[in-house]
Amino acid sequence: MKVELPIDYTKKLSGGALPALKVEISNRLSKQFNNCQLTINRASNDDLTIVGGDKKEIEYIVQETWESADEWFY
C-alpha cells in the first residue's frame, strides 16, 4: 500500500515536524497494515492519496495522529 501526504507549504511547522510526523504515522499504520510506504512532503496544498488501502481508515489514523501531536511531538 502507498500513502502520500502532501502538506501545504504555507502552514507553519516547527523544525523536525515532518520527520517526526512521518515516524509517528508510519508506526501507527504498520500496526494495522503490512508493507505500507508513506511519503510526506511539502506541496501547494494539503492532500491524501492512498493506493491499495482503506481510505476512511487511513484518513482516521492520519487525523488522529495530527490531532494528538502534543502527546508525541516535543
6-42 per-position pLDDT tens digit: 999 998 988 888 999 999 999 999 999 988 999 999 9
Q: Which domain holds residue 9?
A: 2-72
Name the E strands within 1-74: 2-8, 37-43, 49-51
Is the predicted pLDDT of residue 74 greater than 70, yes or no?
A: no
Contact 45, 8 (CB under 8 A): yes
How far apart are alpha carbons 21 and 55 in whole angstroms?
19
- Compute the average pLDDT of residues 39-63: 94
Number of domains comprising the chain:
1
**What's 17's domain CATH number?**
3.30.910.10
- pTM of the prediction? 0.87
Q: Which residues pair with 3 in a beta bridge?
A: 38, 50
Extended beta strands in 27-72, E state? 37-43, 49-51
